[in-house]
Amino acid sequence: MDAARADDRPTRRALSLEQALDHAAWLLDRDAREALALADAIVARVPGQPQAALIAGQALRRLDRPQEALDRLAALDRARPGVPAVLWEMAQAASAADAGDRAIAALEALTRRQPDIADGWFLLARELRKTGRGEDGWRADLSGVHAAARDRVLIDAAAAMHAGRLDDADAMLAARLEQVPDDPAATRLAGEVHWRRGDMAAALERVEHAVDLAPGFDLARDFLIRLLLQLNRLPEALHHADILAASPVGGPAHDLLRASVLVRLGDQDGARALYERLLAARPDQPKVWQNLGHALKTLGHQADAIHAYRQAVARQPTMGEAWWSLANLKTVTLDTADIAAMEQALDRLAPDAEARKEDIFHLHFSLGKALEDAGACQAAFGHYARGNALRRTLVAHDADDFAAEVRATAATFTAPFLAAMGAGGCPAPDPIFIVGLPRAGSTLVEQILSSHSRIEGTMELPDLMAIAARLQGRVDDGEFPDFTTMVASLTPADRTRLGEEYLDRTRIHRRSGKPLFIDKLPNNWQHVGLIHLILPNARILDARRHPMACCFSGWKQHFARGQSFSYDLTEIGRYYRAYAGMMAAFDAAMPGRVHRVHYEDMVVDTPGQVARLLDHLGLPFEEECLAFWRNKRAVRTASSEQVRQPIFTDGVDHWRRFAPWLGPLETALGPLATVYPDVPPGL
């Protein structure tokens, strides 16, 4: 090396000053030692040469000699104060030398001179946090985000993303991150590109990294919380929501997001307190009034919920969801003034119908309920039909594909197949799954059972569906040729691990210490075979109702999410057929494994059916199960108000009032509509 340097000396002398400086800068990232030597040689020839002095400081930092770099750069700054490049290098050298105060001073000077350079703000934020000035660091991160919003590269990448040119956006961001690997704004934007592509794992990894790089990046943390909610990672979502709520520039949006996390966790009281605080500060917020109504309804405070919903529609009469929330309190009757107000709202929305579809279909469902209560069945049916038709345009459901999937599942879990799989799975007896169709009485069964001293009611938990979707994804990705092969590949250890995963994921919802808990997601009927394999001692209850009554009730009930089959009478009839057929197949494969509860029997003979149900679960009879309406637990489903009063029989045959218009449903159900509670052979 010394010989090489000796050979270079004549060359150095022969270089012009400009050439020597260019060469020294070129050497920085290739041979910092040689760059330092050349910079020193230049300074020897031209004392005080500023660019050479800067290169020397940069080289010393790269050689892990930060204190020497800082001394040299400080001298340069005294000679030529306020040069941005010098301040930037001083800050990095000071940071590396653990001279936090000097790093902060340099960065504060830099950001005063160049407030539009995001990197300076982000580095300042990191240094401020190191010295315990967390709030100042948070504000510096926010200033960095504000500066990044004017960055041309990021503006172009965001424009490409919003235009659907995801590959272009990805290429621009990849080039940026190649140059600046720790750019928080580019990293968050890259996460959003992955999210728009449907790659949740990559999206989450990028957005988490953005938050790690800039903990005060509120928009990134907001996005992270929403990703975690989509993935049902609720404890992590709450952790970040708590942090976001402490932002020095926080606002109502942060509190609203935290409240939505609390709702998902079942902490309705916590959400209620947040909504009430927001409304105390600013009452003119119809959306917050509506959210408060949801929390109050779930907690069983019906009068207060009605008041909240009324406040929402008074402030925004075209707010369809608030009207539906009011109508959806099954014990509330909307009067003629309400009907007139909703009809006027529809007229006002007509010119903007394409953009206001959600408000419009909610209003149709609400008018259907109001007119049904008034006995105007034909008019009610008309509004239900219009609401359903509009809602159907906004959801994806392929009845043929779904029926094929159900047939494949039923064909998999045969008696020989289950016998061949042998023992396995997590032996814990904790879960009680209540499956079936919505509006089949599952909430009633849940309320009865959760009144028992050994059973905790939770909510409709998405965790089993998430596990099943992940397994199906292995087929969709080509790892297995079909569903049966994938299931057959699960070893006893795999099945144990999956059962334990389910228990781990749902533990956050168990707060009472009771040994058993209920998972009342109706759609889990599609996965009774999987439940049996991974949780062999879990109980499975099938809540069933007359198909005409159940399907009509589901069709006229607007569900917030998850029931895409319910907006067409033919499709909901086909869905019921698929459900009944698969449950019949499983009954044949594993007789007695599923305990069926017919709604009509529960209504007619509640004590006898409750005793039979508890006997199946191996639990002693308790009188509180017959007084289930006194149970104060939170109930989030559409039947929340009905299960807070004794059983009534009015709804059993209510569908017959609409029979003249239910031909498509009856045709889709076929013989199921007439042989209930039996199931036609061969279904």
CB 55 within 8 A of CB 85: no
One-letter amino acid identity for 415? A
Place of tokens 């006027």: 344
DSSP-derived 3-state class of residue 436: strand
∠ CA 240-243-244, nearest 5°, is: 85
* Residue 49 token pair: 């040469």
Q: What is the pLDDT of residue 632?
A: 55
On the CB side of 445, how many CA atoms lie within 13 Å of its CA? 35
The 8-class DSSP code of residue 660 comes to G
Identify the bridge partners of residue 519 per DSSP, sorted by sequence position: 433, 459
- Within 46-133, residue ranges assigned H as helices are 50-62, 66-79, 84-96, 100-113, 118-130
The burial of 360, by beta-carbon neighbours within 10 Å (0-12 exposed, 13-18 middle, 19 or more buried), is given as: buried
How far is Cα 359 from Cα 550, in angstroms, rounded to an integer?
Answer: 26
Q: Is the pLDDT of residue 361 over 80?
A: yes
Cis before residue 677, ω within 30 degrees of 0? yes
Give the residue-averaged pLDDT of 644-659.
Answer: 73
Q: What is the pLDDT of residue 16?
A: 87
Considering the chain, what percentage of its residues have pLDDT values greater than 90?
85
Q: Is the pLDDT of residue 5 over 60?
A: no
C-alpha to C-alpha distances, 212 to 215, 217, 294, nearest whole angstrom: 6, 9, 34
Give residue 626's pLDDT band: very low, low, confident or very high (50, 70, 90): confident
Considering the chain, what percentage of its residues have pLDDT values greater than 70?
95
The burial of 51, by beta-carbon neighbours within 10 Å (0-12 exposed, 13-18 middle, 19 or more buried), is given as: buried
Place of tokens 């499975």: 540
Q: Cα 319 from chain centroid? A: 24
How far is Cα 169 from Cα 166, in angstroms, rounded to an integer?
Answer: 5
Give the residue-averaged pLDDT of 247-261.
Answer: 93
Give the residue-averaged pLDDT of 44-59.
Answer: 93
* Residue 302 token pair: 């019906």
Q: What is the pLDDT of residue 580?
A: 97
The 8-class DSSP code of residue 567 comes to G
For the chain, the average pLDDT equals 92
How far is Cα 68 from Cα 338, in angstroms, rounded to an integer?
Answer: 78
How far is Cα 103 from Cα 109, in angstroms, rounded to an integer?
Answer: 10
Give residue 2's pLDDT band: very low, low, confident or very high (50, 70, 90): very low
Q: What is the pLDDT of residue 1?
A: 37
Nearest to 580 by CA among 403, 448, 335: 403
The 8-class DSSP code of residue 526 comes to G
Q: What is the pLDDT of residue 3?
A: 39
* Residue 590 token pair: 């594993």
CB 24 within 8 A of CB 39: yes
Q: What is the pLDDT of residue 275?
A: 97
CB 86 within 8 A of CB 53: no
Reported as type and span, the H/E element at residue 368 is helix 357-373
Sheet holding 516-519, edge to edge: 455-459, 516-519, 431-436, 539-544, 594-598
The pLDDT tens digits for 548-563 are 999 999 999 988 777 8
* Residue 500 token pair: 């334990």
Q: What is the pLDDT of residue 278?
A: 96
* Residue 486 token pair: 């994938």
- Between the two ends of the chain, the Cα-to-Cα distance in Å is 85
- The whole model's pTM is what? 0.82
| DSSP string computed for 628-647 | GGG------STTTTGGGS--
The pLDDT tens digits for 447-493 are 899 999 999 999 899 999 999 999 999 999 999 999 999 999 999 99
The pLDDT tens digits for 15-29 are 788 899 999 999 998
How far is Cα 119 from Cα 186, in angstroms, rounded to an integer?
Answer: 12
How far is Cα 271 from Cα 531, in angstroms, rounded to an integer?
Answer: 32
Question: Per DSSP, which regions of 342-459 are E strands?
Answer: 431-436, 455-459
DSSP-derived 3-state class of residue 424: coil
Q: What is the pLDDT of residue 649?
A: 61
Domains, the chain, in order of start with CATH, read 151-250 (1.25.40.10), 429-640 (3.40.50.300)
Q: Is the pLDDT of residue 4 over 60?
A: no
Give the residue-averaged pLDDT of 604-630.
Answer: 90
CB 502 within 8 A of CB 463: yes
Q: Is the pLDDT of residue 260 over 80?
A: yes
Q: What is the pLDDT of residue 7?
A: 42
Q: What is the pLDDT of residue 646?
A: 52
Give the residue-averaged pLDDT of 608-626.
Answer: 93
The pLDDT tens digits for 262-283 are 999 989 999 999 999 999 999 9
* Residue 556 token pair: 């006229």
∠ CA 395-599-408, nearest 5°, is: 50
The pLDDT tens digits for 109-159 are 999 999 999 999 999 999 999 999 999 999 999 999 999 999 999 999 999
Give residue 251's pLDDT band: very low, low, confident or very high (50, 70, 90): confident
Give the residue-averaged pLDDT of 499-513.
Answer: 93
Give residue 423's pLDDT band: very low, low, confident or very high (50, 70, 90): very high
CB 321 within 8 A of CB 289: no
* Residue 246 token pair: 């402490």
The 8-class DSSP code of residue 456 comes to E
The pLDDT tens digits for 282-337 are 999 999 999 999 999 988 898 999 999 999 999 999 999 999 999 998 778 899 99
How far is Cα 513 from Cα 518, in angstroms, rounded to an integer?
Answer: 13
